[in-house]
Amino acid sequence: MQGPLWLSDERHALCRRSMYNIGMAANDRNDPFRRPSSESDYSLIEFMREYPDDAACLDRLWRDRFAPDGHTADCPKCERPRRFHRTKTRTSYTCDTCGLHIHPMKGTIFEKSTTSLQLWFYAMYLIASTRCGISAKQLERELGVGYKTAHRMMKKIRTELMTDADDEPLSGDVEIDETSWGGKPRHAHSRAEAAAFREAKSTVLGMVERGGRVRARVIPSRRGPALSREVVANVNPSAMIFTDDWVAYKPLRGQFLDHRIINHSTGEYVVGAVHTNTIEGFFGNLKTGMRGAYKKVSPHYLQSYVNEYAWRHNARREGKALFAQLLARAAGS
Ligand SMILES: [Zn+2]
């Protein structure tokens, strides 16, 4: 069993700052709490109080998955609700009556991992509390684990907890736009080379309901039918769609309630309600975040990074702390 959470120097400093600055008056110093005005939805101090060690984390999974009151679970062997107790020296709970073990980590991303459960929880906390994502390198420093472990944890959390399970088509007013991803060529020796480079860039197609959900897909090219096919697959025909005047959007005409077009090519950006500012804002966040957190992203992994940003956008609308949502997902609820 691990001791208390090990904190890096940066986190220690952060911790102290939160204690003395975010906390209330002097007599509250031993009991700091988050001001309602704070942008944070779940502070590090709150996390530390709730999950001071591995046992507390395991108890959370146990309650979420098997025993809401912490003691009583359906015993598959006794075939009725029974009282359980925590098994000493093992990560399981034992039926008081028949001695059967239940392992709360079984079937979750934590199963078979040699990394402590508290470090997993802390990784999810960090990923959920950064606005623009965190790199595996940063995670390595914060957790005090090796780079490979940090990278593996990051990948598990991203691909298994941050993918959008929602496949209900987007509706209402839906803005659609595409952007390319991939750095600039350092030295293009010829026009042909520069053009080849542009073609090699990945295209991300973004679709967003105004005031609602976003969906983003990596598509092979901004030319050709793939683009309009994705739109048709993700947007309800009853929607009003907004795009720019890029030729690949033309096939969408007549397939939706209406198709409003902004003529970016002639320098128009907003004409009344006709604009694509919402989706461009999403792309802005995506690019800023990815540039900072993930220096190099191969086209192969691009979709999972894009998913993470779409998840952040959509999860924020739920009004529940992002960490709680990751945890619920991890517990399979
Ligand atoms: Zn039993």
Asked if residue 315 is part of any domain, the answer here is yes
Q: If DSSP codes are grouped into helix, strand and coil, which group holds residue 208? A: strand
Asked if residue 271 is part of any domain, the answer here is yes
pLDDT band at 285 (very low <50, low <70, confident <90, very high): confident
Q: Is 253 left (phi over 0), alpha (psi -120 to 50) or beta?
A: beta
- Looking at residues 248-255, what average pLDDT do you find? 92
Centre of ligand 1 to C-alpha 117, Å, is: 26
pLDDT band at 240 (very low <50, low <70, confident <90, very high): very high
> Which pLDDT value is given to residue 224?
82
Centre of ligand 1 to C-alpha 233, Å, is: 48
Centre of ligand 1 to C-alpha 59, Å, is: 19
Q: What is the CATH number of the domain that holds 300?
A: 3.30.420.10
Non-local CB neighbours of 163 within 8 Å, separated by 6+ positions:
304, 307, 311
Q: Which pairs count as long-range contacts for 178-187, CB under 8 Å and 24+ apart, including other chains?
A: 178/203, 178/204, 178/205, 178/206, 178/219, 178/222, 178/227, 178/246, 178/248, 179/203, 179/204, 179/206, 179/283, 179/287, 180/204, 180/222, 181/287, 181/290, 181/297, 181/302, 182/299
Asked if residue 72 is part of any domain, the answer here is no
Q: 285 or 232, which is more confident? A: 232
Residue 194 to residue 128: CA distance in whole angstroms: 38
Asked if residue 304 is part of any domain, the answer here is yes
Q: Please determine, for residue 295, whether its predicted confidence score (pLDDT) is greater than 80.
A: no
Q: How many domains does the chain have?
A: 1
Centre of ligand 1 to C-alpha 62, Å, is: 16
Asked if residue 270 is part of any domain, the answer here is yes
Q: If DSSP codes are grouped into helix, strand and coil, which group holds residue 74? A: strand
Q: Please determine, for residue 287, whether its predicted confidence score (pLDDT) is greater than 80.
A: yes
> Which pLDDT value is given to residue 68?
96
Do residues 317 and 213 make contact, with C-beta atoms less than 8 angstroms apart? yes
pLDDT band at 303 (very low <50, low <70, confident <90, very high): confident
pLDDT band at 236 (very low <50, low <70, confident <90, very high): very high
Between 17-26, 80-89, 232-241, the lowest mean confidence (pLDDT) is in: 17-26
- Please give the residue range of the domain that contains residue 189: 173-322
Centre of ligand 1 to C-alpha 64, Å, is: 19
* pLDDT, tens only, 43-95: 899 999 999 999 999 999 999 999 999 999 999 999 999 999 999 999 999 99
Is the dihedral angle over the CA atoms 248, 202, 308, 301 positive or is it negative? positive
Residue 244 to residue 270: CA distance in whole angstroms: 10
138's tokens: 């940063």
Q: What is the per-residue burial (b if ≥16 Cβ within 10 Å, else e) of 113-125? A: bebbbbbbbbbbb
Asked if residue 219 is part of any domain, the answer here is yes
- What's the whole-model pTM score? 0.77
Asked if residue 23 is part of any domain, the answer here is no
Query: Judging by DSSP bridges, how do beta strands 202-209 and 173-181 pair with one another?
Result: antiparallel
User: Pick from 176, 250, 270: which is nearest to 219 by CA?
Assistant: 176
Centre of ligand 1 to C-alpha 99, Å, is: 6
User: Pick from 152, 163, 170: which is nearest to 110 by CA?
Assistant: 152
The strand ranges marked E within 93-239 are 93-95, 101-102, 173-181, 202-209, 214-219
Centre of ligand 1 to C-alpha 77, Å, is: 5
User: In whole numbers, what is the pLDDT of the chain averaged over residues?
Assistant: 84
- Looking at residues 267-289, what average pLDDT do you find? 84
Centre of ligand 1 to C-alpha 101, Å, is: 9
Do residues 261 and 243 make contact, with C-beta atoms less than 8 angstroms apart? yes
Centre of ligand 1 to C-alpha 79, Å, is: 7
- Looking at residues 303-320, what average pLDDT do you find? 86
Asked if residue 280 is part of any domain, the answer here is yes
